[in-house]
Structure 1
């Protein structure tokens, strides 16, 4: 994996493994979302939006994924500036959600508040069975403000979203997999390698087709089946013109469905 010119002391590192971008939270001991971490996320989203990879893996190192927002952040917010502050943080979530490539959030352990909200903005969430997730803002008399409530409602339904937020309880990865919030469970012992391989496989796939899939799902969520149907012929026509599609069709006809023609992302 190439690390580029990353600061090894940064709380959030952006590295690349070929076509896969990897965002790693590394701010021991709890990977808290303090001002430095939030600013690092904003900077990283700006970079990735300007120059999207073919897939993105979000991960963390350390005992926990994140214990959530540093309470000192709440203490410093002036009421008159709160709306602008939370609008800036929500933009991080929205930029992550709107990247044109597959995005994977890997949760190996405790994943609270802001980290869980960002996980919900990713296309796919992978976790261990014992990883624990929570939107626990009620402990400071608050509500999730980086978009987690509505994105959880989108995945698991409004009743489950109200339950998680209002009770502030923690839920294991195995439970959230049953609810459709977590897509895949990996063993703890091989979790990081499995998550990386999972994301790399997506990065090596038909990038433009994956982007079209994301656009169709987004259109469905915004306007239902009619909205998705309305845009699908144009998207399909765009994919028809891609090099990956043309090469894969030729290889399928020549070598069968199990051909090994690599995708190039164009």
Structure 2
């Protein structure tokens, strides 16, 4: 059975992790390959304007499959081999998903644990159900964040709070996640999907090309100097001014009507 269930409604792609029997674990299955393929397909399809990532069952994602980790006890599996497995395995998800130019909304239906929490941090906007909890729990099973969590989480909640979560491994509630800025809103479980779709519709109403450029600027701004970002912004703006969507937006403004974007 496929790990991801993909449904499309116009310019909106809803992607559902669909292995509740494994608590939507991200390892020991085809999750990595499917996420990478999804991002590759979306990158090539300019008609996709926004992606919603969510999960089936009561758990968003338990992260790595802890039972599967018993195989690392085998002395034949050397540290070098394990390191390469991470490089060619779960680390491909942040490289694909975090770098995706299309806006991604994460609709978190339940606990997001370990790599499951880090997965939410790879998305642009996080909406949580009241039943969601969040834990950077690697330390509790004697390992480190191997999927980029040490880079992702501080950018979502700040270094001090990320350190508290990573050093204790304790879970925080959806309300605490909202107070810390990890999520932008918390809703009743039955409202989660509708809330995510409504937000996705607002995003999808805007021009797709400049949306992708805008997200790229936000991503580059996390590690670029102001000077470098300004230079990149000037280049993107030159491209944006020549798009049909920009012409339509300005014309509609002058004519006092609603623009019609492709």
Cα offset, 1:108, TM superposition: 1.7
Choose 119-128 or 217-226, whichever is displaced more: 217-226
Cα offset, 1:97, TM superposition: 1.1
Cα offset, 1:188, TM superposition: 2.0
Q: Is 2:240 the counterpart of 1:239? A: yes
Which residue matches 1:106?
107
Instruction: Answer yes or no: is the 8 Å Cα contact 2:35–2:97 preserved in 1.
Output: no
Give TM-score scaled by structure 2 length: 0.89
Q: How does 1:220-231 map to 2 (within 5 A)?
A: 220-231=221-232
Q: SS of 1:195's equivalent?
A: helix
Instruction: List gaps (5 residues or longer) in structure 2.
Output: none
Which residue matches 2:66?
71
Q: SS of 2:41's equivalent?
A: helix
Distance 2:80 2:67 in 1: 17
Cα offset, 1:50, TM superposition: 4.1
Cα offset, 1:133, TM superposition: 0.8
1:59 to 54, 60, 74: 54
Which residue matches 2:84?
84
Instruction: List gaps (5 residues or longer) in structure 1.
Output: 1-8
Instruction: Answer yes or no: is the 8 Å Cα contact 1:150–1:161 preserved in 2.
Output: no
Cα distance per residue 1:183-213 (max 9 Å; x no partner): 2223322111211221233223221222222
Instruction: Answer yes or no: is the 8 Å Cα contact 1:130–1:174 preserved in 2.
Output: no
Q: SS of 1:104's equivalent?
A: strand
Q: Is 2:176 the counterpart of 1:159? A: no
Which residue matches 2:37?
43
Distance 1:76 1:203 in 2: 44
Distance 2:132 2:54 in 1: 13
Instruction: Answer yes or no: is the 8 Å Cα contact 2:104–2:125 preserved in 1.
Output: yes
Distance 1:232 1:169 in 2: 40
CA distance 1:203–1:85, shift in 2 (3 Å): farther
Distance 2:160 2:243 in 1: 42
Instruction: Answer yes or no: is the 8 Å Cα contact 2:26–2:32 preserved in 1.
Output: yes
Give TM-score scaled by structure 1 length: 0.88
Distance 2:114 2:261 in 1: 36
The alignment's C-alpha RMSD in Å is 1.8
Distance 1:44 1:73 in 2: 25
Q: Is 2:26 the counterpart of 1:33? A: yes
Choose 231-240 or 220-229, whichever is displaced more: 220-229
2:14 to 17, 22, 25: 22
Q: SS of 1:146's equivalent?
A: coil
Instruction: Answer yes or no: is the 8 Å Cα contact 1:217–1:228 preserved in 2.
Output: no
Cα offset, 1:233, TM superposition: 1.0
Instruction: Answer yes or no: is the 8 Å Cα contact 1:94–1:121 preserved in 2.
Output: no
Q: Is 2:255 the counterpart of 1:263? A: no
Q: SS of 1:35's equivalent?
A: coil
CA distance 1:39–1:95, shift in 2 (3 Å): closer
Q: How does 1:156-235 map to 2 (within 5 A)?
A: 156-235=157-236
Choose 226-235 or 41-50, whichever is displaced more: 41-50
